[in-house]
């Protein structure tokens, strides 16, 4: 019985599935770049970067995820913010446009925005969406620079 | 020296130690102290202690005690894999030994073992050449772990492997953002890019399995955004100390492999060791262990953890498809029309700003088109350029729809997966085939069919491993296996204006052939089909598929028959507990033995409890076999009671 199960499972899996192990190519540091195309579909860039990271060698999971991208260094910069924004740019863009959401909250946490100031922080970013995301080709370091500009002009 | 008195060392050791104690700093006492500790450990029988057995993953197998870890570097004694006592002795010696250049000391390398022994023996840090592992303690302090959750990405019906499920752990830290939590995941490390090979190897344990850690947001992307699977988070009510103990053990397992077995030593099973390491009383890894072949279904591990009473709040994180489906339900017709026009490119997203729709409806339409393009892009149906252009335009519009604060809708959580019926099913039934009455016994170890109670399962999903049906025909005094569905998978995904997804099925096993001979020979078969399903008013769901079937067996002419046909049906939830499946199919077999078979059937299910139901099947089959020879037909009636366990 065990053999029967195994053999038929193998047949089935071979039959019904094609594994999504893709050829990897980095498509940039802007919108849509967390996802990248391979021969058999799409794979998350983040996942391709690390499989065996451990607590020991991580800022929070990723060491080399932004290595192909320009790092932004300004007031709002540190490794964690850079990494988080690079890996979650699309989700963050959505939350900024909506003026709420988990990615925006986390961004505020990383930026050390106090709880009492979050509402105005969110609405300021939302109100300036088009000044932050200025073009479809924008990269995440430019997004951070624009956020810094928006926040410093009050 | 007081502590030695406390642990009641034999006098000789006491004296020895006392005399040599001044030389301790030169590292000469280490062996003596080690022997004292080892003696103490043996007195306490610590090598049989469940904490020790948990930390080294020892299990009683058919060949004696063995660790399930396969990596030699996890053991300090050459016989460590099979000898808990030798491993404990070597561990104590290593902890007490002086540090060596370029080598991680045992108090860091095996920090969970060390921390446990420190309390259990106890060990006096002052007598150790290396006094604890400040490196790891500091980095855990910086991480500020607070709580742990077991995460279950629910199944996605278009992917059979996902129906088996997956679990991983999420460790939340002091920064209170789940996205930044640590996801601890056990998986096979496979370099093979050829799908079938991957499955064969993972079933037979030919891949090493490793624990890996990722930010939780990466797992959300993987499951919510790419695989379109809802995510369930089960908070485990561990104290921060228990979470810390668990992390010690994760450190020990860093870069250590165990052979990965898809069915038993899999992702979910290996996580249980981490939970046991946090709270040794749980002994969850013991509950699911069997020296024989078994399988560990991820959902069953959640049930066990719930039974152990350690589950706190449960959170639901909808996939993108679930969000789209929900928006579809709450959008007005004009809202849907506008969304479709924008998606198809007939209008730009700015059209929303001029539309007469109420403001909250505009928000929903805008969210719908955003979710939709992200879905399309994740499925590789859109170029990156088109995607980012659409996204940025849609979001610019969204930012001008002034509804700051939370959205006015929320994707409702369906019934919790663990609240669904249990995985195994046993059925007793009676019926008649033509004029022959029979009794029937069915056994199915896993998992769910479209006719079982849906709650907690993905609707339209169906996955069965080894459904065995045996019958006793009264009149013929014949007891026989009626059929075995080794694998039976159906995925009915209704398409609609936004999401089109094919429906498909695969089934293989053994089945009796009726009509031709009295003895009804057993044939092996493989059946597969693909098609489309819709949601309909009243009937609920309808489908149509093109099917192909291959049968093989000695009683067939040319030993084989192969053909194709059409099947169609409706699946209707009449009430919460009453469900009906009407099905018709007609196949022609032009290859091998030529035959033609048409079947119509109606199955009904009446739910009688969370883990029981009654099913009534009636069917009519007409067949012309042996080169489309004589046409015969037979009716079948069957009533059976299902118990899930």
Write a three-state SS string for B120-159.
HCCCCHHHCCCCCCHHHHHHHHHHCEEEEEEEEECCCCCC
Under 8 Å between Cβ of B68 and B80 = no
Which DSSP helix (H) or strand (E) runs through A29?
none
Q: What is the pLDDT of residue A67?
A: 47
Residue A90, min C-alpha distance to chain B (Å): 9
- B213: nearest CB among A21, A58, A123: A58
Residue B175, min C-alpha distance to chain A (Å): 7
- B405: nearest CB among A4, A100, A110: A100
Under 8 Å between Cβ of B562 and B573 = no
Q: What is the pLDDT of residue A74?
A: 61
Nearest to B199 by CA among A23, A8, A44: A8
Q: What is the pLDDT of residue B309?
A: 92
Under 8 Å between Cβ of B208 and B72 = no
Under 8 Å between Cβ of B106 and B97 = yes
B506 touches chain A (CB under 8 A): yes
- B378: nearest CB among A42, A100, A130: A42
A44 touches chain B (CB under 8 A): yes
| Rg over CA atoms, chain A | 20
pLDDT at B194 over 80: no
Preceding amide of B39 cis, omega within 30: no
Nearest-10 Cα torsion for B104, B108, B114, B119: 150
Which chain A residues are closer than 8 Å to B509 by Cβ? 8
For B162, what's the count of Cα atoms within 13 Å in the CB-facing half-sphere?
A: 24
- Whole-structure pTM over 0.80, yes or no? yes
pLDDT band at B495 (very low <50, low <70, confident <90, very high): confident
Segment B293-350, tens digit of pLDDT: 667 788 888 988 999 999 999 999 999 999 999 999 999 999 999 999 999 999 999 9
pLDDT band at A38 (very low <50, low <70, confident <90, very high): very low
Q: What is the pLDDT of residue B211?
A: 84
Question: Strands B494-495 and B522-536, how do they pair?
Answer: parallel
pLDDT band at A12 (very low <50, low <70, confident <90, very high): very low
pLDDT at B176 over 50: yes
Residue A113, min C-alpha distance to chain B (Å): 12
CB atoms within 10 A of CB A18: 12
pLDDT at B239 over 70: yes
* A88·B226 Cβ contact <8 A: no
Q: What is the pLDDT of residue B555?
A: 79
At residue B65's C-alpha, the angle toward residues B50 and B94, to 5°, is: 65
pLDDT at B451 over 90: yes
Nearest to B424 by CA among B473, B468, B459: B468
Quote the CA–CA distance of B18 and B129 in Å, as a whole number: 17
> Residues 6 or more apart from B122 whose CB is under 8 A from it?
B3, B7
CA-nearest residue of chain A to B225? A44
Q: Average pLDDT of chain B?
A: 86
- B160: nearest CB among A2, A17, A106: A17
Take residue B303 and report the two structure tokens written for it: 């049930």
Place of tokens 């080690």: B34
Residues in chain B: 645
Q: What is the pLDDT of residue B405?
A: 54
Under 8 Å between Cβ of B184 and B236 = no
* A46·B195 Cβ contact <8 A: no
- B218: nearest CB among A19, A33, A47: A47
Residue B330, min C-alpha distance to chain A (Å): 18
* B404·A37 Cβ contact <8 A: no
Q: Please, where in chain B does CATH 2.40.160.40 lie?
A: 420-644
- B221: nearest CB among A46, A109, A126: A46
Burial class (CB in 10 A: 0-12, 13-18, 19+), B329: exposed
Residue B413 DSSP label: P
A115 touches chain B (CB under 8 A): no
Place of tokens 């040319």: B558
Q: What is the pLDDT of residue B510?
A: 94
More confident of the two residues A102 and B202: A102
Which DSSP helix (H) or strand (E) runs through B618?
strand B612-624
Under 8 Å between Cβ of A49 and A34 = no
* A94·B395 Cβ contact <8 A: yes
Residue B352, min C-alpha distance to chain A (Å): 15
CA-nearest residue of chain A to B202? A10
* A97·B395 Cβ contact <8 A: yes
* A93·B395 Cβ contact <8 A: yes
More confident of the two residues B146 and B406: B146
Q: Which residues of B114-141 are buried (b: 16+ CB within 10 A; e: fewer)?
A: bbbbbeebebbeebbbbebbeebeeebe
Residue B73, min C-alpha distance to chain A (Å): 17
Residue B577, min C-alpha distance to chain A (Å): 32
Quote the CA–CA distance of B368 and B376 in Å, as a whole number: 12
A42 touches chain B (CB under 8 A): yes
More confident of the two residues A42 and B621: B621
Nearest to B414 by CA among B230, B554, B157: B230
Q: Which A positions 51-90 lie with beta carbon below 8 A of chain B?
A: 51-56, 58, 60-62, 84, 87-88, 90
- The rounded percent of chain B whose pLDDT value lies above 70 is 90
* A55·B247 Cβ contact <8 A: yes
- The rounded percent of chain B whose pLDDT value lies above 90 is 52
Q: Which B positions 568-597 lie with beta carbon below 8 A of chain A?
A: none
Q: What is the pLDDT of residue B642?
A: 96
Strand partners, B214: B183
* A93·B391 Cβ contact <8 A: yes
Q: What is the pLDDT of residue B344?
A: 93
Report, as an integer, the average pLDDT of B186-206: 67
* B203·A55 Cβ contact <8 A: no
Strand partners, B66: B59
Segment B563-622, tens digit of pLDDT: 999 999 999 999 989 999 999 999 999 999 888 999 999 999 999 998 999 999 999 999
Q: Which long-range contacts (CB under 8 A, 24 or more apart) does B82-91 make?
A: B84/B47, B84/B48, B84/B52, B84/B53, B84/B56, B84/B58, B85/B42, B85/B47, B87/B47, B87/B56, B88/B38, B88/B41, B88/B46, B88/B47, B88/B52, B89/B38, B89/B41, B91/B117
> Residues 6 or more apart from B207 whose CB is under 8 A from it?
B188, B189, B190, B201, B259, B260
Under 8 Å between Cβ of B129 and B30 = yes
Residue B267, min C-alpha distance to chain A (Å): 14
pLDDT at B531 over 90: yes
Q: What is the pLDDT of residue B585?
A: 96
The answer to whether domain B420-644 has CATH 2.40.160.40 is yes
Quote the CA–CA distance of B163 and A144 in Å, as a whole number: 40
Q: What is the pLDDT of residue B284?
A: 87
Segment B87-145, tens digit of pLDDT: 999 999 999 999 888 888 999 999 999 999 999 998 988 888 988 899 889 888 888 89
Quote the CA–CA distance of B110 and B108 in Å, as a whole number: 5
> Residues 6 or more apart from B457 whose CB is under 8 A from it?
B155, B417, B420, B448
Quote the CA–CA distance of B226 and B219 in Å, as a whole number: 10
CA-nearest residue of chain A to B248? A55
Which chain A residues are closer than 8 Å to B202 by Cβ? none
Q: What spatial distance separates the first Cα and last Cα of chain B, rounded to whole Å?
A: 57
Take residue B132 and report the two structure tokens written for it: 């604890």
Given its phi and psi angles, is residue B203 left (phi above 0), alpha (psi -120 to 50 degrees) or beta?
Answer: alpha
Q: What is the pLDDT of residue B265?
A: 77
| Rg over CA atoms, chain B | 31
Place of tokens 């290396």: B130
B35-44, B60-69, B363-372: the lowest-pLDDT one: B60-69
Nearest to B231 by CA among B183, B288, B190: B183
Nearest-10 Cα torsion for B223, B224, B228, B234: 80
CA-nearest residue of chain A to B200? A10
Which chain B residues are closer than 8 Å to A6 by Cβ? 203-204
Segment B634-644, tens digit of pLDDT: 899 999 999 99
Quote the CA–CA distance of B588 and B566 in Å, as a whole number: 9
Quote the CA–CA distance of B603 and B427 in Å, as a whole number: 15
* B210·A109 Cβ contact <8 A: no
Helix pair B111-120, B84-96: axis angle to 10 deg: 90
Measured CA to CA in angstroms, residue B128 lies from A26, B21, B37, B426 at distances of 50, 12, 12, 59
pLDDT at A98 over 80: yes
pLDDT at B371 over 90: yes
CA-nearest residue of chain B to A108? B177
- B384: nearest CB among A32, A50, A62: A32
A7-11, B44-48, B447-451, B550-554: the lowest-pLDDT one: A7-11
pLDDT band at A57 (very low <50, low <70, confident <90, very high): very low
* A5·B486 Cβ contact <8 A: yes
Measured CA to CA in angstroms, residue B567 lies from B148, B450, B587 at distances of 47, 16, 8
Which chain A residues are closer than 8 Å to B484 by Cβ? 4
Which chain A residues are closer than 8 Å to B392 by Cβ? 31, 93, 133, 135-136, 138
pLDDT at A59 over 50: no
Which residue spans within B218-285 are E strands per DSSP? 231-236, 258-260
Query: Helix, strand, coil proportions of chain A in percent (round to 5)?
Result: 55, 5, 40
Q: Which B positions 266-305 lie with beta carbon below 8 A of chain A?
A: 293
Which chain A residues are closer than 8 Å to B466 by Cβ? 1, 4-5
B380 touches chain A (CB under 8 A): yes
pLDDT at A4 over 80: no
pLDDT at A53 over 90: no
Q: What is the pLDDT of residue B629?
A: 77
Q: What is the pLDDT of residue A45?
A: 41
Quote the CA–CA distance of A94 and A88 in Å, as a whole number: 10
């Amino acid at each position: 019985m065990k053999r029967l199960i195994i053999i038929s499972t193998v047949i089935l899996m071979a039959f019904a599935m094609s594994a999504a192990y893709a050829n990897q190519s980095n498509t940039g540091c802007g919108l849509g770049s967390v996802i990248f195309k391979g021969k058999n579909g799409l794979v998350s860039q983040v996942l391709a970067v690390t499989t065996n990271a451990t607590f020991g060698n991580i800022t929070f999971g990723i060491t080399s995820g932004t290595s192909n991208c320009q790092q932004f260094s300004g007031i709002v910069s540190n490794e964690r913010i850079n990494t988080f924004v690079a890996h979650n740019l699309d989700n963050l863009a959505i939350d900024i446009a909506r003026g709420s959401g988990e990615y925006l909250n986390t961004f505020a946490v990383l930026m050390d925005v106090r709880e009492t100031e979050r509402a105005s922080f969110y609405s300021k970013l939302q109100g300036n969406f088009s000044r932050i995301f200025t073009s479809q080709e924008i990269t995440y370091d430019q997004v951070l620079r624009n956020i810094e500009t928006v926040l410093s002009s009050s | 020296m007081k502590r030695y008195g406390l642990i009641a060392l034999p006098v000789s050791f006491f004296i020895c130690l006392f005399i040599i104690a001044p030389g301790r700093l030169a590292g000469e006492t280490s062996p003596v102290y080690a022997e004292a500790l080892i003696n103490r450990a043996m007195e306490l029988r610590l090598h049989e202690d469940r904490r020790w057995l948990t930390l080294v993953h020892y299990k009683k197998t058919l060949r004696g005690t063995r660790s399930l870890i396969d990596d030699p570097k996890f053991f300090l004694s050459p016989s460590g894999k099979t000898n808990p006592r030798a491993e404990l002795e070597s561990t104590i010696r290593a902890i007490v030994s002086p540090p060596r250049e370029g080598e991680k000391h045992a108090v860091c390398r095996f920090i969970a073992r060390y921390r446990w022994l420190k309390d259990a023996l106890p060990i006096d840090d002052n007598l150790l050449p290396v006094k604890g592992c400040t490196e790891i303690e500091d980095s855990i302090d910086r991480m500020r772990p607070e709580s742990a959750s077991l995460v279950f990405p629910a199944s996605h019906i278009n992917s059979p492997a996902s129906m088996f499920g997956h679990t991983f752990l999420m460790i939340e830290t002091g920064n209170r953002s789940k996205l930044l939590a640590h996801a601890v995941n056990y998986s096979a490390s496979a370099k093979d890019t050829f799908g079938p090979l991957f499955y064969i190897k993972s079933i037979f344990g030919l891949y090493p399995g490793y624990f890996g850690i990722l930010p939780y947001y990466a797992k959300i992307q993987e499951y919510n955004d790419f695989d379109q699977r809802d995510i369930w988070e089960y908070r485990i009510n561990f104290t921060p100390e228990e979470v810390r103990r668990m992390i010690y053990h994760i450190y020990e397992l860093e870069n250590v492999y165990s052979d990965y077995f898809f069915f038993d030593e899999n992702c979910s099973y290996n996580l249980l060791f981490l939970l046991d390491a946090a709270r040794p009383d749980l002994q969850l890894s013991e509950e699911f262990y069997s020296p024989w072949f078994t399988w560990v279904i991820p959902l069953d591990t959640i049930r066990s953890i719930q039974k152990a009473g350690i589950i706190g709040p449960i959170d639901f994180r909808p996939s993108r498809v679930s969000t789209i489906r929900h928006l579809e339900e709450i959008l007005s017709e004009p809202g849907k029309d506008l969304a479709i026009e924008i998606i198809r490119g007939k209008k730009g997203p700015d059209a929303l700003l001029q539309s007469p729709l109420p403001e909250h409806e505009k928000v929903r339409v805008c969210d719908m088109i955003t979710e939709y393009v992200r879905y399309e892009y994740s499925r590789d149906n859109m170029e990156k350029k088109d995607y980012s252009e659409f996204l940025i335009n849609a979001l610019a519009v969204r930012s001008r729809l002034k509804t700051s604060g939370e959205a006015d809708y929320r994707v409702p959580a369906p019934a919790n997966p663990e609240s669904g019926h249990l995985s195994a099913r046993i059925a007793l039934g009676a019926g008649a085939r033509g004029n022959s009455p029979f009794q029937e016994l069915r056994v199915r170890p896993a998992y769910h069919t479209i006719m079982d109670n849906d709650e907690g399962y993905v609707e339209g999903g169906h996955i069965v491993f080894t459904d065995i049906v045996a019958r006793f025909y009264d009149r013929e005094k014949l007891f026989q296996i009626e059929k075995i569905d080794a694998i039976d998978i159906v995925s009915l995904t209704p398409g609609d204006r936004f999401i089109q997804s094919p429906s498909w099925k695969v089934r293989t096993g053994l089945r009796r052939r009726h009509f031709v001979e009295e003895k009804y020979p057993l044939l092996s078969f493989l059946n597969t089909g693909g098609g489309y399903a819709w949601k309909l008013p009243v009937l609920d769901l309808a489908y149509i598929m093109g099917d192909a079937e291959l049968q093989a067996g000695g009683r067939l002419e040319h030993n084989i028959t192969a053909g194709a046909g059409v099947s169609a049906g409706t699946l209707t939830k009449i009430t919460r507990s009453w469900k009906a499946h009407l099905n018709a199919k007609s196949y022609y077999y032009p290859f091998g033995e030529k035959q033609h078979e048409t079947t119509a059937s109606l199955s009904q299910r009446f739910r009688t409890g969370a883990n029981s139901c009654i099913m009534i099947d009636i069917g009519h089959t007409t067949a012309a076999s042996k080169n489309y020879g004589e046409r015969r037909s037979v009716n079948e009636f069957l009533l059976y009671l299902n118990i899930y366990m």
